[in-house]
Structure 1
Amino acid sequence: MTSKQFNGFDVSWYTKNKMKSFLKKVGASFGFVIVLMPIFGIILSIGNAANLDVLKNIGNILFANIGLYFTIAIIIGFTSNKGSAVLAGILSYLVFNIFISSFIQNPDKSFFNIWFWKNLQSNAYLTKFFFGNIKTFNSGVVGGILIGVYVTYIFNRFKDTNLPKGLEFFSKEKLTIIISVFSSIIFASFFIIVWPVIGFTLTFIGSGVAKSPIGIDSFIFRTFQRMLIPFGSSLLWQSPMWYTQIGGNLVEYQQDLLIQYLIRTQELTPDLITNLLSITAKGNDQTSIIAIINNVLGDKDLNNVMNDWFTNTQEIFSKTGDQFIWIAVSNSKLITIDDCWNVGFRVSRFISGGYVNSIFTLPAISCAMLFLTPKGERRNKMGMYITAGLTAMLIGVTEPVEYLFCYTMPLFYFAIYCPFNGIIAALTSIFKVKIGTSFSTGIFDFTLSGIVPTVNGADTRIWIIPIIGLIAATIMFFATYFWFKYYNEKEKRVNIKARNLRDSLYLFLDEIGGIRNIKNYQINDNKLNISFKREPEVSKLFNTFDVIEKNNNEYKLQIKENKMEVIELTNYIISNRITKKGN
């Protein structure tokens, strides 16, 4: 096993490659979930646009149980797609959530109790589980991944285990299903103890991210997301922002969002609006929030309106993560995208910048690379560049273009392309572009997530995307063209020099009778001491040497200045031949 010193540690080649393989497996596993998003998004978008309750309910159920898909995805990725392992994962997910649900007290109230935890906020910790009115922890992606991890471990650990005679029917893969189901009860018990703390921590981090200066969070997210693409692990960075509390949670904005709703829908005087927006007291549940607002409203009775609002927004407040929140509010009349931005929650800030990159920047890079292709090769490579550019533009899959240059031009990719993406994301956030996504960031999703909500009355500021996009495409086209042209020409110069050196080496070796004819070879400054097995033709040596002196069988040769590199290269070749013979 080969290893090398790295900062004082022995880093194993095997260990590094195992880590790369692991990260690629995780990224590929998450891909199974990501590919479901357009299906769910289309169903929900059509349901909202056509006001079809059946499609809206289907879409909401599919998104509400995102944890199950991550459970299955992890298992598929790390068990070679074993059906029995997937079945164990589904059963474990069901048992895990039903067990937790059975201990929740007062799930329909503003606060609930579970075991020794008292007065936990329902909107922050609970969500609907599949059908009916079953409530369970809103563990989402985190819970789904953890279930997938322990089911995968159990399957790989016990899949070949045999039981004693009489119990052999339950051996091997059947045993893993049984162990996984019972382990889910133990894990659910542990989860009841720790999840309120984990949930609070994730919410606290998400709150800090949401309140950071506008554009900073988008820049950091987008820059690092692009940097992880060559390693196949961008989804490890993206998923927490899009699907968990780190990407945001609307619960702490309840009071402000209700005030925004009242201002939009009720006939209020300017003074009353000013007073509502100036409220400093904060309630943390339905009763206290309504009481605070009523103190300002005075004789104006809006209790029924406010109670209905709380009843009908419970599902929205259970959503976490930038993408899920955007999907929930994009077609809602109770909480709109503008309401979120008005209260300081910049929904879609981790998404909008991607449309500029997919629809404008990457096709421009692809075109620049095509124009730099030599004319004789352009026709053969045209299909590759056009297909890669259209793939990014239409469906938002960016890797085909990025893989064309991230490995061959790493400095350009990491020092220019990735930060440039971060700047674009920051600009879309600063200019309040409010376009989310159901899958990716191509024209298809731009239509569903940008044009359709805009037509339905949402103020998405969609027109800013093509303005930033055209400017970004122009900048990146010329940056790509001149950067690649410079390094291509530099590479050509290096190749020409290498070919000239190779030709000079062959000529020199021919002059001295070949490498095998050398008996002794030693360089001293600009002189070469050399002896031969067979005498070479002396006249040919003047092509490489200025002065030739012979003492017995040894030659002392003064090297021409422009031939020094050939002499040193020959010395390198001879040294390697001697080393190999010694081994």
Structure 2
Amino acid sequence: MIGKRSFDFFQRIGRSMMAVVLILPLVSILMGLGGVLLNPSVHELVPFLGGYGWQVTGELMQRAGQAVFNNLPALFAIAIAITWTGRGMAGFASFIAFAIMHTTIGALIDITGIKLNERILGTEMGIETMQTGVFGGILIGFLTAYFYNRFHKVELPDAISLFSGERLVPIVASFGGIVAAVGLFFIWPQIGKGVLALGDFVATHTNPLIVGLYGGIEKLLIPFGLHHIYNTPLLFTEIGGTYTTLEGARIVGDQNVYISQVIDKMKDGSVSITGGTYIAGKFIPVMFGLPAAALAMYRTARENRKVKVKSLMIAAAVTAWITGITEPLEFTFLFVAPVLYGVHAVLTALAFGLMNAFGMHAGFAGGSGLIDFVLFNVLPNQSNAWLLTIGLGILFAIIYYFTFKTMIVKMDLKTPGREDEGEETKLYSKEEYRRKKGIGAAASENPVESNRAAEILAALGGRDNVTRLDACITRLRVGVKDVGRVDEEELKRLGASGVLKMNDGIQAVYGTKSSIYKAEIEEWMQG
């Protein structure tokens, strides 16, 4: 049980980080399109894009996208707190704690006059401070989530009961931000030096073996949902490299650096591309390998099932090729033939290593499919990496096809279309695989602490009668489908000093405990 809970804990961490990772593709595409509009090479092909209006549009798109990259630490803090708790108040408190932490660090630097490595100093949201990067955001995010879970139902004495429940969390988180700042002030200079040293080492000692292992290990962690914990330091921190843009912004992480350098190189051809060292090989298995594997599964399907398999494989292969979403194919391997996933991981490692061996730099905003390939590699046309990617991709497509076809036939693997009689031909999802392996989130295992929420909910007419749940300082505000099902007397018996009924809702006056009751009812409804 301990092992399973630990595993679920780390899986939840990965999902929390995913909240920020998911917005980066959209933001990066915005920046990529802006870069295309500003690219002089594009103007030669499409002259009207060199007009003033298009140039302003491109500049605005790039700056809008850059605002997200410049504030990634704060976004991690907010997103982690919200996704870990499921409450917006936690995100609000996390933002406050993040700002207070960096303000306190900046004040301590001024007061003590301490001399620090210039590479560690910088700004966060305009605050002069030590740059703790996404590590600082992650720390505050989880710290605030802990404070929320610990204090959001605390009932204070009547004299200060206004600050009970959720309203207590920002206060506690603020003090937590000060304590975190004091701790980081003393320990981060050494940690920061270590991170910078590791980043310098990675930048100067990268080789095909290391890059290949990175790609293969990431692939092996995907089934468990732990890959975001593994690759976040390389993609979004100094460990993956640093770069100062033409506008003076400091960018960190292999993925972010590549995108920023490509955009700057379209403005100034003298900019060198150093990012995209570790992620360059990802296009090969995604755009070429997996579609070829899908073809192998179709060709080895039983004749009477080929029509259905064809439609499934075309949909899955096209999705992987265009968007980089590989889950339908990869989790099907895991579900029916794990050995194929093992081969896929090995070939992925080989592709990553080969791209590094050839000294290629390529990158993506998140999907590693055709959209990102064109926007950030083909259209900028800053190197021949995209041509080599296509060449190696075709070679890997051939390897994938014949390897998978041979293994499916020789080992009689039950891939789609080869199932036993009576079994359904289908693709499998991540959720189905994890249920099969007993991998699940622990969030729903927490027992409800009190029956009070259940009693109030019953008095409101039951879960299916509630359409909206909110709380102000003194009132529980509930939208209901049928106000006639609300038991006013029972709500008063449960502590309400008054109940106001309307056409589509009620207001129950529970005083300053209203926000606590709201949180308890929400947990009961979700659990």
TM-score surpassing 0.5? yes
Quick one: structure 1 residues 117 and 371, their matched pair in 2 at CA, closer, same or farther if it must change by over 3 Å?
farther
* Matched residue type, 2:124: F
CA shift for structure 1 position 494: 13
1:176-325 to 2 correspondences below 5 Å:
176-250=169-243, 312=246, 314-315=248-249, 318-325=250-257
CA distance, structure 1, for counterparts of residue 335 and residue 268 of structure 2: 42
How far does the alpha carbon of each residue in 1:442-489 deviate from its partner, in whole angstroms, 9 at most, with x for none?
Answer: 0011111112211xxx22431001100000011011111111222227
CA distance, structure 2, for counterparts of residue 82 and residue 337 of structure 1: 46
CA distance, structure 1, for counterparts of residue 251 and residue 267 of structure 2: 13
CA shift for structure 1 position 201: 0.8
* Matched residue type, 2:408: F
TM-score relative to the length of structure 1? 0.64
Relative to structure 2, which stretch is displaced further, 82-91 or 369-378? 369-378
Residue 442 (str. 1) matches residue 369 (str. 2) = yes
CA distance, structure 1, for counterparts of residue 419 and residue 21 of structure 2: 44
Structure 2: 5+ residue stretches without partners:
39-55, 422-527
Match of 2:50 in 1: none
CA distance, structure 1, for counterparts of residue 228 and residue 269 of structure 2: 25
Looking at CA atoms only, which structure, 1 or 2, has the larger radius of gyration? 1
How far does the alpha carbon of each residue in 1:346-365 deviate from its partner, in whole angstroms, 9 at most, with x for none?
Answer: 52121111111111011111
Residue 389 (str. 1) matches residue 389 (str. 2) = no
Quick one: structure 1 residues 115 and 384, their matched pair in 2 at CA, closer, same or farther if it must change by over 3 Å?
farther
Aligned length: 401
Quick one: structure 1 residues 126 and 64, their matched pair in 2 at CA, closer, same or farther if it must change by over 3 Å?
farther
Alpha-carbon contact 1:209-1:217 (below 8 Å) kept = no
Residue 20 (str. 1) matches residue 20 (str. 2) = no
CA distance, structure 2, for counterparts of residue 160 and residue 326 of structure 1: 45
Alpha-carbon contact 1:435-1:460 (below 8 Å) kept = no
Alpha-carbon contact 1:230-1:407 (below 8 Å) kept = no
Residue 402 (str. 1) matches residue 330 (str. 2) = yes
How far does the alpha carbon of each residue in 1:328-379 deviate from its partner, in whole angstroms, 9 at most, with x for none?
Answer: 21122499898646xxxx5212111111111101111112122222222232
CA distance, structure 2, for counterparts of residue 390 and residue 97 of structure 1: 45
CA distance, structure 2, for counterparts of residue 127 and residue 60 of structure 1: 17
Aligned residue among 123, 126, 135 for 2:121: 126
CA distance, structure 2, for counterparts of residue 489 and residue 46 of structure 1: 44
CA distance, structure 2, for counterparts of residue 128 and residue 494 of structure 1: 58
CA shift for structure 1 position 224: 0.4
Alpha-carbon contact 2:219-2:227 (below 8 Å) kept = yes
Match of 2:491 in 1: none
CA distance, structure 2, for counterparts of residue 403 and residue 183 of structure 1: 41
SS in 2 for 1:319: strand
Aligned residue among 53, 56, 63 for 1:57: 63
Alpha-carbon contact 1:125-1:199 (below 8 Å) kept = yes
Report the aligned-residue RMSD: 2.8
Aligned residue among 81, 98, 101 for 1:96: 101
TM-score relative to the length of structure 2? 0.71
1:152-163 to 2 correspondences below 5 Å:
152-163=145-156
CA distance, structure 1, for counterparts of residue 269 and residue 3 of structure 2: 44
* Matched residue type, 2:195: L
Aligned residue among 410, 425, 430 for 2:357: 430
Residue 66 (str. 1) matches residue 72 (str. 2) = yes
Match of 2:410 in 1: 486
SS in 2 for 1:350: coil
SS in 2 for 1:95: helix
Quick one: structure 1 residues 126 and 460, their matched pair in 2 at CA, closer, same or farther if it must change by over 3 Å?
farther
Match of 1:472 in 2: 396
Match of 1:558 in 2: none
Quick one: structure 1 residues 425 and 489, their matched pair in 2 at CA, closer, same or farther if it must change by over 3 Å?
closer
CA distance, structure 2, for counterparts of residue 365 and residue 178 of structure 1: 54
Indicate the percent of aligned positions where both proteins have the same amino acid: 26
Quick one: structure 1 residues 490 and 390, their matched pair in 2 at CA, closer, same or farther if it must change by over 3 Å?
closer
Structure 1: 5+ residue stretches without partners:
1-13, 106-113, 252-310, 497-583
CA shift for structure 1 position 188: 1.4
Question: Relative CO higher for 1 or 2, CA cutoff 8 Å, sep ≥ 6?
Answer: 2
